[in-house]
Amino acid sequence: MAQFLAMGGYAAFVWPAYGVAAVVLVALVAATLRGLREREATLKALEGMRPARRRSRRAEAPDLPPAQAKVSEG
Amino acid sequence: MTTALMHRYANPARFLRIATVVLPWAAVAAGLLTAAGLYLSLFASPPDYQQGDTVRIMYIHVPAAWMSMFIYTSMAVAAAVGLVWKHPLADLYAKAAAPIGAGFTAVCLITGSLWGAPMWGTWWVWDARLTSVLILFFLYLGYMALVNAFDDPERGVKAGNVLLLVGIVNVPIIKFSVDWWNTLHQPASVVRMGGPTIDGSMLVPLLVMALAFKAYYIATVLLRIKSEIIQRKIQTLRLTQGDSGAVESGA
Amino acid sequence: MTRKKRRLYMLLLALLGLGTATALTLTAFQDNLVFFFSPSDLQTKGEQVKDRSFRLGGLVEDGSVRKLPDGVTVEFRVTDTQHTVGVSYRGQLPDLFREGQGVVAEGKLRPDGVFVAREVLAKHDENYMPPEVTDALKRAGQYKPADTRASAQ
């Protein structure tokens, strides 16, 4: 086991390589899923408001979740 | 006007249906291939006669490099399709794929440095291969910045498409850099005339990891395209809702 | 022709133009993009690099590696099978540095023709094999320790 971890003396290079790949790829999926869920929620909220109701111009969308502001990323 | 609108949304709807079917398969395949790939790369393959266990870095570095070039090329194709055929999904694809491509390129560069430091004796050199891959990374970042720089998303995407097409010359340069110029980076070991110069026991982990990355990419990009489609719907709804109180079903 | 066809042709034309421009630019800069000179290159381009720092690449000549009595300096010869240059280096050599192996050294040419290196990098070839395979090749007398392409570059 110790031999495996030591990677022939190159542990300091091999393990960070695998680590970086794991971090980047997992983070990418996580951010994607998070963005997707936020947007799905926003869409649902927006569609839920459609049953026609007279709204005043200035009331944009008062009951939408605050996650709003970040929909453009992810 | 309504037919144009309908056409616009018909494709995404069909895409979403296909995506819903493909996604779970891609995700499961990614999981299984990654598990198999890691087992092969770390346990069930030999060290190199010369490079010892650092060769295991190759099983991450090379598939990441392949993905970085493949993704950029696919984005450039999408850009061409978007510019010529004006297919609505083409622009969404490029936007969705960009961060994944950038991620793989970063992984390629970083793992490359981690491999080069013990083997070559340096973390970085400005030879043709390394420099052109760094340029690829900047092209990805530049694309993402450009697309988001415009208030009007349509103009942003168009500008991005132009950048993608201009930058496509970099991909053959990356591939042939080790042949056209003398470089520190060694020549190709897999995709070359005369066949691979990698022993079978090492070629297998490499190919399995490459497939794992492919499956991961398919799953992730489908999720991201879905996300972009929803974002478009949100934007459309916001626009129509902002105009009047009564909004018809526009999606 | 249709608008779509016209867009397609414009795109292809633009790409062709871009490709040509790039090819021409790269060809024009060929010399400046050189990452290292081979010992043979020095014969022809020696004037260019006089007094300038540059990189020398080739194979470490078999039997040429010597550690000097001061314990720090290493001398070896770099060859591309046509010409050879002597190198002097003080410092750590990379793990992969060995005779018959590719090498890229950065430094200056001394007036006496010896290349004084500031940095020595090992260049390995594109072959990957387990030790068992190289052992088998050696036993069969088929083993070639280094790819001669390194010298051909």
| pLDDT tens digits for range B153-187 | 888 888 999 999 999 999 999 999 988 888 899 99
CB pairs under 8 A between B and C: 112
Number of domains in chain B: 1
Q: What is the CATH number of the domain that holds C63?
A: 2.40.50.140
Residue A38's domain spans which residues?
12-44
Domain-embedded: residue C31: no
Contacting A with CB below 8 Å, chain B residues are 38, 42-43, 47, 52-54, 56-57, 60-61, 64, 99-100, 103, 106-107, 110-111, 114-115, 117-118, 148, 216, 219-220, 223-224, 226-227, 230-231, 233-234, 237-238, 241-242, 245-247, 249, 251
What pLDDT is attached to residue B247? 46
Pairwise CB contact (< 8 Å): B107 & A32: no
Domain-embedded: residue B211: yes
What ipTM does the predicted assembly reach? 0.88
Domain-embedded: residue C89: yes
What pLDDT is attached to residue A66? 52
Residues of chain A positioned with their CB less than 8 A from the CB of B230? 36, 39-40, 43
What pLDDT is attached to residue C46? 76
B250 interfacial to chain C (CB closer than 8 Å): no
Domain-embedded: residue B244: no
Domain-embedded: residue A26: yes
Looking up tokens 């696919």, which residue turns up?
B74
Domain-embedded: residue A36: yes
Pairwise CB contact (< 8 Å): B169 & C123: no
Domain-embedded: residue C58: yes
Task: Name the band, by pLDDT with cuts 50, 70 and 90, for residue B194.
Answer: confident
Separation in Å, CA of B119 to nearest CA in chain C: 6
Provide the chain B residues 47-106 that lie in CB contact (below 8 A) with chain C.
47-51, 55, 58, 80, 83-85
Domain-embedded: residue C26: no
* CB contact set of C40 (below 8 Å; sequence gap of 6+): C80, C82, C83
Task: Name the band, by pLDDT with cuts 50, 70 and 90, for residue B210.
Answer: very high
Number of domains in chain A: 1
Domain-embedded: residue C11: no
What pLDDT is attached to residue C104? 95
Domain-embedded: residue B245: no
C16 interfacial to chain B (CB closer than 8 Å): no
> For residue range C68-107, what is the model confidence (pLDDT) as tens digits?
888 889 999 999 989 999 999 998 899 899 999 999 999 9
Residue B119's domain spans which residues?
8-234
Task: State pTM to two decimals.
Answer: 0.85
Domain-embedded: residue C139: yes
Number of domains in chain C: 1
Question: What would the mean pLDDT of B62-70 be, rounded to a whole number?
Answer: 97
Domain-embedded: residue C72: yes
Separation in Å, CA of A44 to nearest CA in chain B: 9
Residue C93's domain spans which residues?
39-152
Pairwise CB contact (< 8 Å): A21 & B242: no
Task: Name the band, by pLDDT with cuts 50, 70 and 90, for residue A70.
Answer: very low
Domain-embedded: residue B153: yes
Q: Does the pLDDT value for residue B222 go beyond 50?
A: yes
Domain-embedded: residue A57: no
